[in-house]
Amino acid sequence: MAKKNYDELVKKILTNVGGRDNISFCTHCVTRLRFNVKIKDMVNEEEIQSLSGVLGVQWSGEQLQIIIGPEVKNVYSAVCKEAGFEEEGIDENLDKPKEKFKITKVFEAIANCVIPMMPAMVASGMTRLICTLLTMWGLMDAEGSTYLILNTLADAVFYFAPIFVGANAAKQFEIPQTMGMLMGAVLVHPNLVTALSSGNAVSIFGLPVYAISYTSTIFPVILCVLVMAQIWKLLGRFIPSVVSTLLQPLLTMLIMLPIGLCALAPLGAFIGTYLSSAIIWLYENTGFVGIAILSAVYPFLVMTGMHMGLVTYAFTAFMSVGYDPICYAANIMANLTQGAAALAVSLKTKDKSLKSNGIAGGVTALIGGIMEPALYGVNMKLKKPLYCAMIGAACGGAIAGLGQVKAYIMGQTSLLGIANYVGGSTANVVWMVVAMVVALVVTFVMTYLMYKEEK
């Protein structure tokens, strides 16, 4: 979509969401514009869906999501310029609708505490890959200082995860990010780590502190910051503004320390441990069938937001056992097959708009690891390509399961994701390459043969 069309597109979008005055919040993610609106009935979904440049429209709770694709950032900027919003989003507290509780909102909240860490996790993961390859090829001494420093970079984001997650959780729960970081820093402070690992009893205000390590964890600090946010806001109502700068942070932390160290952090550690154990149990008892099914249905998890929960599991798995045997494989298979199906359609169709969407969606999925443009812009609309992609993903997932592949770093979920599987045996990479090739070939051939242009 050319930039010259943004202004025309956003004017139509704003008109059909009920105008600027009907919007209480506006933001965007990787592929979607997200609007919270005051009056839902003022939104004309059919008209928005018909706009050139819009790949799909859906509601998530009370939030309107308009699927744009890779150009969403530019469209969002144009929306903000046209409507006079700040680009980070607007929040005027204008009758923001109260949403009913949904389990997907829990997954989304947890994922929002983790996903912003992805650039740091990718940097760490790729550094670990470089260290592995250089030592394997004899180009770096595993006992040398260069390896020590690079390996420190590879481990840092995981070891200090509570600090990173604490900052994101504070933002999610709307308190100062430094308070979340402080809670995370307490959990991984060397003095506390040493005291808890010494075998001696540790207590605060006479209350026993459970002896457990919180390095490389995410749930303990999320639970702590969730409760901290309520305490922070409650204190803010009663503390006079003249002394709030001094007393609100101090009292919040003094209250949180016993609650967090004696109850919430241990509970969060148990949740993380048992979540990983449950997924591993499922994997060990379903084998390749489980991965095949997950690969096939992954697009539907994306549609509902349920894939957010898998992001949390994958992160926990990498920190607890050092690899992920399930989620990355399924995600990669789903992305590749959605892209392959879209490209097959683009090759066969004579419709210029569909051809353009197919190429853009296919490249974005195969190289960028983002399936939504292909999924919403091509495959869901035509149905048969979606079914072919699901079959191809199941085939690839089954082979990955049979080979018991394991992702050792958190990296790309596209063709470049093969790098995630370096670090184990050579067979680990070979099995994953075979799985990816089979998924692509089965999907592309089936889609090309089954898709027929309507005359």
pLDDT attached to residue 92? 44
Calculate the dihedral angle through the C-alpha atoms of 197, 199, 201, 203, rounding to the nearest 10 degrees.
Answer: 0
b/e map of 155-188 (b: 16 or more CB within 10 Å)? eebbebbbbbbbbbbbbbbebeeebbbbbbbbbb
Taking phi first (over 0 means left), then psi (-120 to 50 degrees means alpha), and beta for anything else, what does residue 98 get?
Answer: beta
In sequence order, the 6+-apart residues with CB closer than 8 A to the CB of 89 are 25, 26, 27
Secondary structure class of 223 (helix, strand, coil): helix
In sequence order, the 6+-apart residues with CB closer than 8 A to the CB of 326 are 279, 283, 290, 291, 294
Q: How many distinct helices (H) and strands (E) make up the chain?
A: 19, 6
**pTM for the whole structure:** 0.66
Of 332, 335, 326, 328, which Cα lies nearest the Cα of 286?
A: 326
Taking phi first (over 0 means left), then psi (-120 to 50 degrees means alpha), and beta for anything else, what does residue 392 get?
Answer: alpha
| Helix, strand, coil shares, percent, the chain, to 5 | 70, 5, 25
Alpha carbon distances (Å) from 158 to 109, 127, 367, 428: 20, 13, 26, 23
Which H, E and C letters describe 291-351, residue by residue? Answer: HHHHHHHHHHHHHHCCHHHHHHHHHHHHHHCCCECCHHHHHHHHHHHHHHHHHHHHHHCCC
User: What type of residue is 192?
Assistant: L
Size (the chain), residues: 455
Q: What is the pLDDT along the chain (455 residues), one digit of tens a residue?
A: 444 567 889 999 999 999 988 988 888 877 788 898 888 889 999 899 888 888 888 887 778 999 887 788 888 888 988 888 876 544 444 344 445 556 566 767 777 787 788 788 778 878 887 888 888 888 999 889 999 999 899 888 888 989 999 999 999 898 999 999 999 999 999 999 999 888 888 999 999 998 888 988 888 999 999 999 999 999 998 998 888 889 999 999 999 999 999 999 999 888 877 766 776 777 778 878 989 999 999 988 877 666 666 777 777 777 777 888 888 999 999 999 999 999 999 999 998 888 988 998 898 889 888 888 888 888 988 889 999 999 999 999 999 999 999 998 877 888 988 988 987 789 999 999 999 999 999 999 999 999 988 76
Secondary structure class of 56 (helix, strand, coil): strand
Supply the DSSP symbol for 91: B
pLDDT attached to residue 309? 64
Of 180, 177, 175, which Cα lies nearest the Cα of 236?
A: 175
